[in-house]
């Protein structure tokens, strides 16, 4: 757990919501909203170092997103391929370590191969970009509990030791864009004592300045972790 006396957020997670609504407001296809959403990701990742974050976790594709139309899922997967291919050299050059959480090995074989290569190439990075792919928090907790049970006692400590995020800093701040106020099966365990911020801004319009304002607001909060 982060030091209660520190006002600096080390780990921020974002539920990137609103691509479809952004496109609809402009009379554009949903695919264009997702494309602009990727641009927002790119700008945000480039700003992480100057903001002093150790880890940024992004909810990119949930285990429930498979329920979307086949065409939209294909668009999302193709965007993922393009993003990995185009931005991997920049990650390496800027000391970013990629971390994937979720059942990402259940994705298409070529995407899995691309991700494995990206994980290897960025393994020495000091700042972490964690991306949730084919991720569902309830499934993650169930997997962790099953692994704990297979080797012995099931407790808070042993479940935590088998979560996808075990090697990440404790979550300090969770942000959701687009005005929706729910967690959508994202980092349920990790959010137990995280601060939360729900903003109306649609994801493609979310900028590094929005994140900096969120960090400034976080620094003013008093975190008690159940104490007084």
Active site residues: 17, 65
Contact 174, 15 (CB under 8 A): yes
Q: Residue 171's CB: how many other CB atoms inside 10 A?
A: 24
CA distance 127 to 135: 21
At 177, list the tokens: 């864009």
- The tokens of 185 are what? 């099966």
The answer to whether 65 touches 103, Cβ cutoff 8 Å, is no
Across the chain, the runs of DSSP E, i.e. the strands, are 11-15, 55-62, 96-101, 127-135, 173-176, 195-198
The DSSP element (H or E) to which 84 belongs, if any, is helix 70-93
Q: What are the C-alpha distances in Å from 61 to residues 7, 123, 146, 161?
A: 30, 22, 24, 24
Tokens matching residue 218: 């976080």
């Amino acid at each position: 757990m982060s030091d209660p006396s520190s006002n600096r957020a080390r780990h921020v997670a974002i539920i990137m919501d609103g691509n479809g609504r952004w496109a609809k407001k402009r009379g554009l296809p949903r695919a264009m909203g997702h494309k602009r959403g990727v641009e927002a990701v790119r700008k945000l990742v480039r700003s992480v170092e100057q903001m002093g974050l150790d880890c940024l976790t992004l909810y990119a594709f949930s285990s429930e997103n498979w329920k979307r139309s086949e065409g939209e899922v294909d668009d999302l997967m193709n965007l993922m391929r393009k993003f990995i291919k185009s931005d991997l050299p920049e990650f390496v050059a800027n000391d970013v370590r990629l971390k994937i959480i979720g059942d990402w090995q259940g994705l298409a074989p070529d995407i899995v191969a691309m991700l494995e290569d990206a994980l290897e190439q960025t393994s020495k990075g000091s700042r972490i970009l964690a991306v949730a792919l084919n991720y569902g928090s309830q499934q993650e907790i169930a997997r962790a509990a099953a692994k704990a049970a297979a080797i012995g006692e099931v407790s808070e400590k042993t479940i935590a030791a088998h979560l996808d995020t075990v090697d990440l800093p404790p979550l300090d701040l969770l942000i959701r864009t687009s005005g929706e106020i729910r967690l959508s099966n994202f980092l349920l365990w990790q959010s137990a004592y995280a601060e939360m911020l729900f903003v109306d801004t649609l994801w493609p319009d979310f900028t590094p300045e929005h994140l900096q304002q969120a960090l400034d607001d976080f620094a003013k909060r008093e975190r008690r972790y159940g104490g007084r």
